[in-house]
Amino acid sequence: MQPGRWGPLRGCQRPSRTLSWTAWPCSGRQTACASNRDCSPFFRASVAAPSNQGAKSMAATHPRTHHHLRATKGGWQEKPVSVVPLNVQLALRDAMRKEGKSSADFHDLLWILAQESTGVVNARNGSSTARGLFQLLRAQYGLNPRGEASFGNAVEECQGGIRYIYGRYHSSFRAREFWKSHHWY
């Protein structure tokens, strides 16, 4: 295998200090190993795998199966808003009404929600404290009407996300544009 090439070994493996391959629990949000993206920020493609270990031995040590939802920054693909279930879309509309936000902002908020959680109520990020439809971090849980107890209620999760977006970006359009540039918000 040439340095700087992925070859048969892909994602979720990192070289230890001695350059032997070890399993690495994935740190990305539901990341795909086969997408030419490793799940660890410490991995660098320029490190070659030892010649005495192959893809079969790595597959045997792989800690878990992944679902392809997010590609690398250069290869990121927008998730369509159609992935968000109708009941979550209605919850977003209800939350916008409760928060006094214009219905004109619905599509920007729905787009952000689709990118963050694909409409999964009480979605959890295994590598951080991000949680809910808008993936609020623990420091922002208090933005939900009942704090952490709001998780599991789609309307209240949306209210927390709306409060975060308007508190930080002052508009859903600005939040969406920031998300498009950085792939987080």
Mean pLDDT of 40-64: 42
pTM here? Answer: 0.61
Gap between the Cα atoms of 82 and 114, Å rounded: 8
Gap between the Cα atoms of 20 and 160, Å rounded: 45
Parallel, antiparallel or unpaired: strands 13-15 and 21-23: antiparallel
Least confident of 31-35, 66-70, 120-124: 31-35
Alpha-helix runs per DSSP H in the chain: 55-61, 86-99, 106-117, 154-168, 172-182
Segment holding 22, helix H or strand E = strand 21-23
Q: Do the beta carbons of residue 79 and residue 114 sit within 8 Å? A: yes
Structure confidence at residue 95 (pLDDT): 98
Structure confidence at residue 70 (pLDDT): 53
Structure confidence at residue 73 (pLDDT): 54
Mean pLDDT of 78-103: 97
Tens digit of pLDDT for each residue in 20-46?
Answer: 333 334 444 443 343 334 443 433 333
Q: Name the residue among 18, 11, 5, 12 with its Cα closest to residue 52.
A: 18
Gap between the Cα atoms of 21 and 63, Å rounded: 13
Structure confidence at residue 185 (pLDDT): 87
Rounded to 5°, the CA angle 184-31-165 comes to 20
Q: In this model, does residue 67 exceed pLDDT 60?
A: no
Highest mean pLDDT among 4-18, 26-40, 65-79: 65-79
Q: Find tokens 């359009």 and name the residue.
A: 173
